[in-house]
Each structure stands twice: as C-alpha cells, then as structure tokens.
Homo-oligomer: A and B are copies of this chain.
Amino acid sequence: MAGVTAQLKPTTDGDWRDNPARVRAEIRRGAYDGHTAGLAPGHVQGNVAILPADWADEFLRFCLQNPKPCPVLAVGRPGSPALPALGADLDIRTDVPRYRVFRDGALVATPTDIRDFWRDDLIAFALGCSFSFEQALLDAGLGIRHIEHDTTVPMYVTAIDTAPTERFHGKLVVSMRPFRPADVIRAVQITSRFPSVHGAPVHLGLPEAIGIADLSKPSFGDPVEIEPGELPVFWACGVTPQVVAEAAKPPLFISHYPGRMLVCDPLNAAQAAF
C-alpha cells in the first residue's frame, strides 16, 4: 500500500517499468524485489491470496459475501499458477516481488518466489487494490493526502463485522482519505464507477460510528492530518481478507508482501463499470 506516488507519475523512458509483462519478467528472473508502486503506471495491481483447495472454495465464498473489501479480480484453477485474465504469461509463483508464507497462521517465510512451496492443490486469488481507484481520483484532479506526503494510507480495524463463513470471519478494515466536502461528493461519484477495486466509500464523516476512536492512531499505515473543512472518507480495504485469512490459520496461506503487489495487464481505466 505504501508510496504510490511514483505509480502515478508515468516514467518517460519507455523502459521495462512501463510494461506490465516486462515488469513481471524482471521480477520473475529475480532482478527486482521492491515495491510495485510506480511500476506499469495505468495498469491494475492486485492483492494476492493463495490457499489449499479445501480452504479456497470457502475463501471464495467469503470474498463474494464481502465484495467491497474483497473484490475478486481472478481465481486460478487448482494447482495452476496461471491467471490468464491478468496476463497471458503470468505465473503467480514467481511474478510477485516478495511473498509472505503462513503455516497454521504463523509467518514462516518471506521469499521472492514460492516454487518451493507450490502444491497441486493450491488456488491463487488476485483481489482488487486501491491503487486503481486512487489513480481515478488523481486523474480527476483530487489531491490524496498520503500520496502527497509519500506515506502509507492510514488503515483502521472497524467495529463492522464482515459476513462470515464457517472458518473466515473478522472485522472490516478500512482505508481513510480526507477531502473537502465538494471533493467528498466527487470521490463518491468517481469510485462508484470502480466496483472491482473496492468501489464507493463505505463510510464518511463520523469515525466513531464505525468504531474508530482516534484517527491519529491507525491500525496499519501512517496517520494523515485532517485539515479544517475536511471530512474523513473510508473505503473498504484489501487488508481485510489478508487479516481474515491469517486469523483462520489454514495449514498454508501465501500472500504478497505489503507494497509488493501483482502487476497485471488490464488497465485501471478499463475497470470502470460505467
């Protein structure tokens, strides 16, 4: 989630950083393991979750019940590292700069590829990420405070329960961006067009109403100042399914390392529903 400033300033040298397939190729050959902010500007980046099949079907149900925090971009076939809708050559085992590997809920490794962990029963998910709607906001001329300050968006665990399945349950995590009221209205309009990348806000203006006691103390990320005349606006956050999946303690769960996302071929602008 951190440091998306660079993502929104397209590079001009026409090098590998501009092209999602070339970005994945560099990552795949081990030449790059850093943040993906700023890479392949204009293209979708995804949150990654990988689970054994006997957990993955339930996780998919969880995502479909909670589409705002868990917008499913693509689901792989059991045992297949391919997600062809997001890139013809995409190999989920090698194409993310760095991973987190959990066994029974405990972090056991943060490798740069997961071929050694791969199994024939694993199913890969790519979920939408706020980078896409942030680009739409910036394109419309709205300023995004944490991007201006080059910090990580503040995220808060709310008092709102997600819709649970048998083993997956937990509180909704939201990200917050402050805007003046006229821009709040624009932000609702703009992000409503992008349901596959979290869509419209879930809340605004009254943090205590969703169990946020102190905006200056985010659960994750960095605080941002809310200036006089601004309102906090809250979007469902892709950290929600990560936290929920970790807490369910499946025997194996693999996700992207924070800020190291899956760089995909589809354009952000193509995600607009209308």
Contacts and interface: CB of A to CB of B under 8 A. Distances in A.
A84 to B, nearest CB: 31
A184 interface: yes
B184 A204 contact: yes
Interface in A189-219: 189, 192, 200-206, 209
B229 A203 contact: no
Contacts of A185: 188, 200-204
Interface residues of A, number: 19
Contact of A189 (B181, B188, B231): B188
Nearest to A188: B188
A182 interface: yes
Contacts of A274: 274
A256 to B, nearest CB: 29
A206 B181 contact: yes
Interface string A19-44: 00000000000000000000000000
Contacts of A181: 203-206, 209
Contacts of A189: 188-189, 192, 200
B205 A205 contact: yes
Contacts of A203: 181-182, 185
B188 A209 contact: no
Contacts of A229: 206, 209
A204 B179 CA distance: 11
Nearest to A209: B229
Contacts of A192: 188-189, 192
Contacts of A209: 180-181, 229
Contacts of A184: 204-205
A202 B202 CA distance: 20
Given A181-B205, A185-B188, A189-B200, 7 more contacts: A181-B204, A182-B202, A182-B203, A188-B189, A188-B192, A209-B229, A274-B274
- Give the top 3 A-B pairs by smallest Cβ distance, nearest first: A188-B188, A205-B205, A181-B203
